[in-house]
Each structure stands twice: as structure tokens, then as C-alpha cells.
């Protein structure tokens, strides 16, 4: 298709004034498809926008190029291949950090405690993003982090919960921070692990017709005291799970207000490889709260500053553990 056609499509979409209805040309569409498959070629790190508008590393994946090069949580990426990241959106910066396997990418990095930024060249590699990570924090508190809601996430969550319970977990921290979401079906399956019965989420289209999605009713962790960690990176399907836990009073939400991405997009692949996503409905929590726009407000507001990341501190997780320990009378 011609540049003119693409321009006309973009113009029509802009007139809708909906940031979640968007169009991607073939090359960009392919990168998006890679990311949602759980595999992509890049440097292997969760990133976010820093306070100054650059890119901050939230979590390098173990064994990935960023980790092997010694990059740390809290490091600020100032430049990608000579381009100032403050001049790019987060999506544009991520798109430039990614690229074909084995090709180099040059980053200029600022680190707390170092006077001068330093340059590092990484070779892009194929990254397999784990949907789920888990561990025991002490003898009684299990920790379960869900990175996204891809198709295999429910099975991974089920396995992780079974193992945590077998290890003696009597309380649980569910970490949904920086989880961009994924599949609606995965969010319902995962919420059902914690909520025995009732509505998980209601989907309403432009005619206000509501489609109620209820718990599957066979969860492993429907009684265990729990805390859900959320932040501004908690979006979409992750907000469905957090909202259901909050409304059913199954657990405390700790952290920061979530993104507020509660709309449903219909994906349309076009014949030339380009991709269109159109908003067709919105999600409401069990108590009827619209997720879209304002997001979910935590029961306990605990900020996480950039210097916390850089110094390997996690006051949000600390608050969750403290709350759960109080619940056990310790």
C-alpha cells in the first residue's frame, strides 16, 4: 500500500481521539506480533519512562544481553545508537533497542553514584520472556510475579501456586507491577485461582450491553490471605485481576494507581502485513467501576522512587510483607 493510503488511515484514526485505536505499518506490526508471542530479539530488560523522560531499566532478565553486560535496575538509558531517548516515546525507544538477532546496539547509560555516563555495546539476542516468576520470601509468605497474560500464563500460574503451597505458603504476594496485560481469557483463568465465585469482569460495548465473565470456580488459592502489588505500569488484563481481587475483598492492593487501560481492541490483520486495532468495548470491575481512564486506586499508596530501584530497595514489596506478617500475628 502507498504512503498516501497509510497517511489517510492514520488521519482517520487520529480523528477518533482514542490512543488505543491504532495502525501499524508492516515492519512495526511484525515487531508487535513478536512481542505478544513472548519472544523477541533485543537486550532482555523490562524498561519504563524515567522522571526526566528517558528510559529506565526496571528489571534485566537473568542471562540476557543487558544482564551479561552488567546493566542494573535503576540504570537510565540516555541514548540508543546516538539518539537521545528523551526525544522519543517509550515505544519508539523500545523499537530502536530491539532489532535482528546478533546485531549490535549502542547505549549510553547513566548510573547513580557514577559521575559520568558510560557507553555499552550489546549484541541483540532472542529473548524468551517468562510469564511467571515465583519464590518463597520466608517460611510462610509466597511471592508470585506475573509479567504478562499470554496464552500460557494460566498454566504457569497454576503450577507456581501448586509449588508455593507445597512449600508451605500460607500468605501470598501477587506482583502485577509493570504487567501490560494480554488476553482476557488468561486474566479470567488467573483471577479464578484467587476468587471462588462471582463476577470477575463485565465487558460493555457501545450499546451498553454487558457480558459478564464469572469465576471458573476451581482456584487453588481462594482462601489464602494475599496482597496485590500494582503501579502505573499495571494495565489492561492485569487491572482486571487487581480490580476483581479488590472488589471481592480478597486482598489488599498496595503500590500506585494503575494505568487505566480498560478498553477492548479488535485486532485486524490487513493483506499487506499492516495491522489495525479498533476499540470496541470497555471493562468494568465486579462493583461496576470503569477501569478505563482513572485506573484502580490502591488501598495503601506506597511510591517507588528511581533511587529505590538504583539501590535495590523495594518499599512496595516491604509494605506487602509487613502487612501479611501483621495478619499472622507475628
247 catalytically annotated = yes
Nearest to 132 by CA among 98, 162, 112: 162
Cell representation of residue 270: 490487513
CA 23, 46, 41, 267: dihedral to nearest 10 degrees?
Answer: -30
Cell 483471577 -> residue = 191
Cell 488468561 -> residue = 186
Answer yes or no: are the C-beta atoms of 250 and 194 closer than 8 Å. Answer: yes
> For residue 53, what are the contacts with CB-CB under 8 A and spacing of at least 6?
85, 86
The rounded distance, in Å, linking the Cα atoms of 59 and 120 is 17
E strand or H helix that includes residue 241: helix 237-247
Nearest to 121 by CA among 138, 144, 102: 102
The string over 202-223, giving b where at least 16 C-beta atoms fall within 10 Å of a residue's C-beta and e elsewhere, is bbeeeeeeeeebebbeebbbbe
The rounded distance, in Å, linking the Cα atoms of 65 and 63 is 7
236 catalytically annotated = yes
Answer yes or no: are the C-beta atoms of 281 and 204 closer than 8 Å. Answer: yes
Catalytic: which of 192, 247, 263, 274?
247
Cell representation of residue 46: 523490562
> For residue 245, what are the contacts with CB-CB under 8 A and spacing of at least 6?
174, 191, 194, 195, 226, 228, 251, 253
Catalytic: which of 178, 186, 215, 261?
261
2 catalytically annotated = no
Catalytic: which of 236, 263, 274, 314?
236
Question: What is the SS3 assignment for 21-33?
Answer: CEEECHHHHHHHH
The rounded distance, in Å, linking the Cα atoms of 321 and 325 is 6
Q: Which residues are catalytic?
A: 236, 247, 261
Amino acid at each position: 500500500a502507498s504512503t498516501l493510503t497509510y497517511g489517510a488511515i492514520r488521519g482517520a484514526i487520529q480523528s477518533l481521539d482514542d490512543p488505543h485505536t491504532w495502525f501499524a505499518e508492516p515492519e512495526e506490526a511484525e515487531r508487535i506480533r513478536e512481542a505478544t508471542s513472548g519472544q523477541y530479539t533485543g537486550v532482555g530488560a523490562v524498561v519504563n519512562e524515567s522522571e526526566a523522560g528517558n528510559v529506565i531499566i526496571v528489571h534485566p532478565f537473568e542471562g540476557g544481553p543487558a544482564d551479561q553486560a552488567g546493566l542494573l535496575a535503576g540504570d537510565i538509558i540516555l541514548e540508543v545508537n546516538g539518539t537521545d531517548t528523551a526525544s522519543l516515546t517509550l515505544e519508539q525507544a523500545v523499537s530502536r533497542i530491539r532489532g535482528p538477532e546478533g546485531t549490535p546496539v549502542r547505549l549510553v547509560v547513566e548510573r547513580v553514584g557514577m559521575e559520568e555516563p558510560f557507553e555499552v555495546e550489546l549484541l541483540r539476542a532472542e529473548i524468551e520472556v517468562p510469564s511467571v516468576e515465583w519464590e518463597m520470601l520466608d517460611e510462610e509468605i509466597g511471592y508470585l510475579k506475573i509479567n504478562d497474560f499470554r496464552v500460557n500464563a494460566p498454566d504457569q500460574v497454576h503450577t507456581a501456586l501448586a509449588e508455593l503451597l507445597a512449600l508451605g505458603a500460607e500468605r501470598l504476594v501477587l506482583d502485577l507491577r509493570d504487567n501490560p496485560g494480554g488476553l482476557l481469557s488468561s486474566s479470567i483463568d488467573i483471577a479464578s485461582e484467587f476468587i471462588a465465585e462471582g463476577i470477575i469482569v463485565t465487558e460493555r460495548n457501545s450499546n451498553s450491553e454487558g457480558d459478564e465473565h464469572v469465576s471458573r470456580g476451581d482456584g487453588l488459592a481462594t482462601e489464602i490471605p494475599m496482597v496485590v502489588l500494582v503501579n502505573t505500569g499495571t494495565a489492561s488484563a492485569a487491572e482486571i485481576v487487581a480490580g476483581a481481587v479488590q472488589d471481592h475483598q480478597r486482598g489488599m492492593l498496595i503500590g500506585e494507581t494503575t494505568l487505566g487501560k480498560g478498553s477492548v481492541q479488535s485486532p485486524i490483520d490487513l493483506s499487506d502485513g499492516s495491522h489495525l486495532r479498533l476499540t470496541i468495548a470497555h471493562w468494568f470491575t465486579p462493583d461496576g467501576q470503569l477501569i478505563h481512564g482513572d485506573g484502580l486506586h490502591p488501598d495503601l499508596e506506597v511510591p517507588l522512587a528511581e533511587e529505590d530501584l538504583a539501590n535495590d530497595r523495594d518499599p512496595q514489596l516491604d509494605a506487602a510483607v509487613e502487612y501479611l506478617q501483621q495478619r499472622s500475628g507475628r
